[in-house]
Amino acid sequence: MGKHHSEDEEIEFEANFSDKEETAIRTRLISLQTKIREVNVPVIVLLCGVNGSGKNAALAIFRDWLDQRSVILRAYERHDVHQERIEYRRYWRDTPINGKTGVYVSSWYSDPLVYRAYDKINDDGLYELLDNCNDFEKTLADSGVIFCKLWFHKDKNEQEAFLRALDEDPYEKWRVMDDDWKNCCLSDGFEEATRKLIRYTDKDYAPWFEIKEGTFTQRIRKALDIFCTHVERELDERLKFREKEEKKREEDKKSKKKKYEKPDFVKHINMDASISKEKYKEQLPYLRARLNALLMEARKRNKRVILAFEGPDASGKGGVISRLTSSLYVRDCDIFPISAPTQEEINHHYLWRFWRRLSEQKLLTVFDRSWYGRVLVERIEHFATEREWKQAYDEINRFEKQMVQGDNIVVKFLLYISKDEQLVRFKAREETSYKQWKIGSEDWRNREKWEQYDEAFDDMLKKTDTKYAPWFVVPDNNKKYGRIKTMKLLCRYLEKVLDFKTDKEIPPPDKEED
């Protein structure tokens, strides 16, 4: 079983272990799987290489010999070689939760490799795509994910013999795809691109292990031994690190708070800014039409718009979002009010729940609170350690960069009110029957930490305001002003990004004011 016989050669496409050896391997795998669940960290295994190199046989072992309740298996269709972007959304959505193992064939490395081997991109293009691979893995590894990347090598003669053997067997020829022969003909290009890929993406946090020599079964045996040894060692390291992190978390809770100083962003905004009721009624329909025209232009260019809103409780986010989204039909827009994560979301990387909400179908996606919770509430309430929330700034910048590379326009708004205005709004909510659901003990508790939130807002703006995903701070003591100002800022930014003006088709009612 698992062999093809011809006059001159014997081709294997499944591992052939003795009963004793199989028992030993299966026992070790199950024991390791139990430890992964106990330590409660995710493990990601990549199986890469040409057809017949052993990756599919290794995948079959992970499928058949492990408890499938704790394993996810994935293989992906390649993106079209002519398209300019690679979407990471599908990879993020498929990341394993804590305690589970994800095994991937045709991973995020397949597209860069094929593009380079087919000369669709040059070396600079290859390294640019591989930077995204490194960023993706670094973000996950920093959260505790264990990576084991296995590359199965096979020279051109071995590839040809393997494909020919399968092709001549009526029971096995279904395994051979047209691309397999094309890739075999370009084996020199693939080998060169593979060397560059491995060298560029072999990192301490996500190392490559190359399987080059031995019979088919020996290669599989070696790969399984590498996997077990590497993950066992990493699990031990995670346990040691976790003890240190817990001690640090307790120290952070007891640390003395710095004396409050008004943050820079507050010094530079006019909290008294306002607009008359008449001017508001005049500007709103104009800005609604203008925004609609810009969003339709974005659609023509196959772009989507993603908005993130942050701000103190009762800062008017809901009212602003309501006016913004009224410029579109409901079918074109998704609005996600973000609250505390579910248990499933807690078991994933904190960015997972946002990646899974991104849609290719919706023109506009709006987050009422967002991934910035990591550096706001999680920082202040010590749900994240100091190391975790400090590294989150870079993680978020990479996340937003990948969204922009996926043809999304990302814009972020901080709606800010004074502490006195918040008190007025809190009391109004308590006294208005249909608004009482908006106020609770948690809101009052957060209010006591106003200064800490100010400091966190300031750090957030300084560390994540980028050219590709800018922040706009909007004073919102006057709700009508905040709504109009936010819509104006969004329209101006979309005009800039799209290089598209709406003045001729939608003339302003009068000269716009800031």
State how far the alpha carbon of 91 is from the alpha carbons of 78, 125, 273, in Å. 12, 21, 44
Query: Does domain 277-498 fall into CATH 3.40.50.10490?
Result: no
pLDDT digits (tens, 9 = 90+) for 261-306: 778 888 889 999 999 999 999 999 999 999 999 999 999 999 999 9
* Rounded mean pLDDT, 96-111: 94
H helix or E strand, kind and range, residue 60: helix 55-65
User: Is residue 450 a contact partner of residue 312, using CB atoms and an 8 Å limit?
Assistant: yes
Which residue is listed with tokens 């079209």? 80
Q: What amino acid occupies position 403?
A: M
pLDDT over 60 at 7, yes or no: no
pLDDT at residue 435, as a whole number: 86
State how far the alpha carbon of 140 is from the alpha carbons of 67, 224, 348, in Å. 24, 23, 10
CATH number corresponding to 27-243: 3.40.50.300
Token pair for residue 21?
């050896």
Q: What amino acid occupies position 290?
A: R
Kindly give the residue spans of alpha helices, DSSP state H, lying in 70-177.
89-93, 110-117, 123-142, 156-167
pLDDT over 80 at 348, yes or no: yes
* Rounded mean pLDDT, 244-253: 76
pLDDT at residue 422, as a whole number: 93
Reference 140, options 43, 241, 67; nearest CA is 43
Q: What amino acid occupies position 483?
A: R
Q: Are strands 101-105 and 471-475 parallel, antiparallel or unpaired?
A: unpaired
Supply the angle between the helices 55-65 and 216-254 in degrees, to the nearest 10: 60
State how far the alpha carbon of 245 is from the alpha carbons of 38, 89, 341, in Å. 18, 30, 21
Reference 455, options 253, 268, 269, 263; nearest CA is 263
The CA distance from 15 to 358, in Å, is 41
pLDDT at residue 6, as a whole number: 42
pLDDT at residue 51, as a whole number: 78
Reference 447, options 417, 482, 483; nearest CA is 417
Specify the higher pLDDT residue, 176 or 341.
341
Token pair for residue 429?
């909510």
pLDDT, the chain, mean: 90
pLDDT digits (tens, 9 = 90+) for 15-27: 889 999 999 999 9
**pTM of the complete model beyond 0.85:** yes
Q: Considering Cα of 472, then 477, then 482, then 484, what sign does the dihedral take?
A: negative
Q: pLDDT class for 257, splitting at 50, 70, 90?
A: low
User: Is residue 203 a contact partner of residue 3, using CB atoms and an 8 Å limit?
Assistant: no
Q: pLDDT class for 14, splitting at 50, 70, 90?
A: confident
pLDDT over 70 at 330, yes or no: yes
State how far the alpha carbon of 237 is from the alpha carbons of 13, 127, 226, 350, in Å. 36, 31, 17, 22
How many Cα atoms sit within 13 Å of 161 on the Cβ side?
17
Compute φ and ψ for 146, nearest 5 degrees. Answer: -95, 125
pLDDT digits (tens, 9 = 90+) for 297-306: 999 999 999 9
**Beta-bridge partners for 48:** 151
pLDDT over 80 at 478, yes or no: yes
H helix or E strand, kind and range, residue 210: strand 208-211
Q: Are strands 10-12 and 3-5 parallel, antiparallel or unpaired?
A: antiparallel
pLDDT at residue 256, as a whole number: 64
pLDDT digits (tens, 9 = 90+) for 194-203: 999 999 999 9
* Rounded mean pLDDT, 142-146: 95
pLDDT over 50 at 1, yes or no: no
The length of the chain, given as a count of residues:
514
pLDDT digits (tens, 9 = 90+) for 71-99: 999 988 765 544 545 578 889 999 999 99
CB burial class (10 A; 0-12, 13-18, 19+) of residue 329?
exposed
DSSP per-residue string spanning 452-487: HHHHHHHHHHHHH--SSS-EEEEE-SSHHHHHHHHH
Does 277-498 match 27-243 at the fold level? yes
* Rounded mean pLDDT, 441-464: 94
* Number of Cβ atoms within 10 Å of the Cβ of 423: 13
Which residue is listed with tokens 């943050």? 263
Supply the angle between the helices 386-405 and 450-464 in degrees, to the nearest 10: 40
pLDDT at residue 512, as a whole number: 61
Which residue is listed with tokens 């293009």? 125
State how far the alpha carbon of 39 is from the alpha carbons of 146, 230, 235, 236, 241, in Å. 12, 15, 7, 9, 12
Please report, to the nearest 10 degrees, the dihedral formed by the alpha carbons of residues 259, 261, 265, 266 taken in order: 120
Supply the angle between the helices 187-201 and 123-142 in degrees, to the nearest 10: 40
pLDDT digits (tens, 9 = 90+) for 398-439: 999 999 998 999 999 999 999 999 999 999 998 888 888 888
User: Is residue 469 a contact partner of residue 411, using CB atoms and an 8 Å limit?
Assistant: yes
Spans of all domains in the chain: 27-243, 277-498
Tell me the three state secondary structure of residue 20: helix
User: Is residue 354 a contact partner of residue 367, using CB atoms and an 8 Å limit?
Assistant: yes
CB burial class (10 A; 0-12, 13-18, 19+) of residue 107?
buried
